[in-house]
Amino acid sequence: MTRTEAELKLRQIFGFSRFYDEQWKAISALLQGRRILVIERTGFGKSLCYQFPAVLFGGTTIVFSPLIALMRDQVTALRRRGIAARCINCEETPEDNEKSLQEAIDGKLKILYIAPERQENEHWLEAVSKIRLSMVVVDEAHTISQWGHDFRPAFRRIKNLVRNYLPQDMPILAVTATATEKVQHDIEIQLGNNLEVIRGSLMRTNFRLYVIKTTSEEEKMVWLKHHLQGLPGTGLVYAGTRTQTSLYMKWLQRQGIDAVEYNAGLDAQTRKEIEEGFLSNRWKCIVSTNALGMGIDKPDIRFVIHLQIPASPIHYYQEIGRAGRDGKPTDIILFFNEQRDENGVMADYRLPRSFIDSARPSERKYLQFIEALKEEPLSEKGMMMATNMKQTAVRVIREDLIEQGIIKEVTMGRQKFYEYRYDAPELDYSLYSSLNAAKLEDLQQMLDYVETKQPRMEFLCRYLGDHEEIDWTRTCDNTGLPKLTIEVQEADRLDVQDFKENLFPELSFKRIPNMLTGVAASYYGDSNVGRIIHHCKYENGGDFPDVLVRQTLRAFRYRFKNKKFDIILYVPSTESGDLVRNFAHTIGKILKIPVSDGLVKQKETKPQKIFEQHYGKADNVKDAFTCQNQKEIMGKSILLIDDIYDSGATIKEIGRMLAKAGAAETAPLVIAKTVGGDNI
């Protein structure tokens, strides 16, 4: 088919008059049964590269896509054009998924979108053996690479399928908007020989890139207070943690700015409502974790503000890339708190660093796991029990071991089991060390972005392997745009202080029986409270001072104003002596609630803070506590006091124990709650 003939069809079916050269290059190669990787920026029209040939082919094109929202949008758009397309994923009803499969088997579908996880589903595998297949597409192809910024283990089997099994003359298309040369190279290896690469320009000429360096969290808040409302249009404020989304939403609302928070912790319905409101510009801004925006097709996001540096320039490019698809000027702002702690670590470096450090369990756990599976096949639950590890750890190890070909997943009846492979290779843990090193290097690059004197867009493009030369003038604060600065007035400082003192972070325990939502007097980091606690605990600073007592009492009244408690228990300390005990007795005296010393440890534990991983913390305190006098708590309302709430593992463990021992309800009250990355 010539380009002219193809463009005639393009007009008839899709209503566009012509292809971009790179689109046509991909399409004509696919029509010849070749294998193509297309790396083009968001908004380029990558989907057309497979949608067009899919319509021409006789059978069904399977598109493996990790983004459910995107799948749905694409299906709707295709059906509007009269192209038979459907999608299969966990959010559709089983009936709808069944119908989609049947239509594919009956040869009625041109395009079938499917989540990569389905490749593990027996039902799908049964069905796909009956579908006439014309092409396979791997969407968001950077997610198939361990070195990519959003690695999805679920793609493992798709990679294997494409690389090793699908016939060489079957057209295969992989598409992504963001792949460094390293990731591109990895995709080429993962998807096998003969992958031709088409790489386009990643330059976003409508972006105005700024970096604002700060020495405190407070300064970020003050800048937003004065400038956010003045930014044109609506946009996104990305925060590093869920706690931060809620904190900044409250701060912005206090300033009269129409803001809402979004994170993966919200229920599905709320999330959907916010997504819809986002599309119709219902709020000035959405304070979100990076969960929002991926795969949402909104052309007019006018600004993206990062309160925290992402893990790498590629994450950053990907997250800001969601903005300004309409080509109009768009403001891209990155905050960076460079205040160093006593170890010389910069404040905003801590959180992303902690994510990297806690990504993987220790080698010993991997080996423990393998030994268990040599004995018998185990389900996920069975593995958790056999190894005494948490689900998250089990999942990480499981995926890694499958990837390494040491264990395999099999379906018995309806349940999935994991089995040791006969003749399996030895565990190669060094792989994870090098992955870790690569991630640290990526993070370093992000710091370099903050410090660079280079045109910022040039920095990002080079990092992503785009070496195009263009005029960078007025694309960022290094090339002619004004530097953005912050001036904190006394009134601002008081405003922030008042805000923080009345924040009272919630401690929520949905899965623990008889556990009430508790309260913290303050956040730990970036506040005096954290510093005071640290001084008392680790620098022999004596009992917690009155200011903490007062602040804690305020939090108590804020949260439990009309609540009656029968007894106060406190968490027995591992290393800070009687600090918490004395604190609890002081509080008890003021509130006139009897304090019991009956909550004790029945096994030796280590300080929770030495565990980098949550599962380590949970293991450390498991079954560690007991109540000496069960009568004391039977049927009682308990106020449970501790100094710092970090992972929550201790409080949760005690809550479970108390419920089991017959407590009617337990409400935690702590002095400070940490935010991800806090150094306690």
Residues that bind other proteins (CB under 8 A): 59, 119, 125, 128-133, 136, 157, 160-161, 164-170, 374-377, 408-413, 419-423
CB of 428 vs other proteins, minimal distance in Å: 20
CB of 417 vs other proteins, minimal distance in Å: 8
* Structure-token pair, residue 450: 């903050």
Look up residue 232 and give its DSSP letter.
S
Nearer to other proteins, 236 or 406 (CB): 406
CB of 411 vs other proteins, minimal distance in Å: 8
Strands 111-114 and 85-88, how do they pair? parallel
Give the sheet arrangement for strand 285-288, strand by strand: 207-214, 330-337, 303-306, 235-238, 285-288, 259-262
CB of 135 vs other proteins, minimal distance in Å: 9
Nearer to other proteins, 59 or 541 (CB): 59
CB of 422 vs other proteins, minimal distance in Å: 6
Q: Between vectors from CA 500 to CA 498 and to CA 506, what angle results, nearest 5°? A: 135
CB of 166 vs other proteins, minimal distance in Å: 5
CA dihedral over 392, 395, 398, 399, signed as positive or negative: negative
Nearer to other proteins, 128 or 309 (CB): 128
Cα 131 to chain centroid, rounded: 35
Nearer to other proteins, 99 or 421 (CB): 421
d(CA 410, CA 418) in angstroms, rounded, equals 6
CB of 568 vs other proteins, minimal distance in Å: 53
Nearer to other proteins, 132 or 563 (CB): 132
CB of 22 vs other proteins, minimal distance in Å: 27
CB of 393 vs other proteins, minimal distance in Å: 23
Nearer to other proteins, 137 or 595 (CB): 137
Nearer to other proteins, 128 or 657 (CB): 128
Nearer to other proteins, 108 or 130 (CB): 130
SS (H, E, C) 373-420: HHHCCECHHHHHHHHCCCHHHHHHHHHHHHHCCCEEEEEECCEEEEEE
Nearer to other proteins, 149 or 157 (CB): 157
The answer to whether the CB of 242 falls within 8 A of the CB of 265 is yes
d(CA 361, CA 383) in angstroms, rounded, equals 15
The one-letter code for the residue type at 554 is R
Kindly report the length of the chain: 680
d(CA 145, CA 159) in angstroms, rounded, equals 10
Core vs surface per residue 340-373: b (16+ CB within 10 A) or e: eeeeeebbbbbbbbebbeeebbeeebbebbbebb
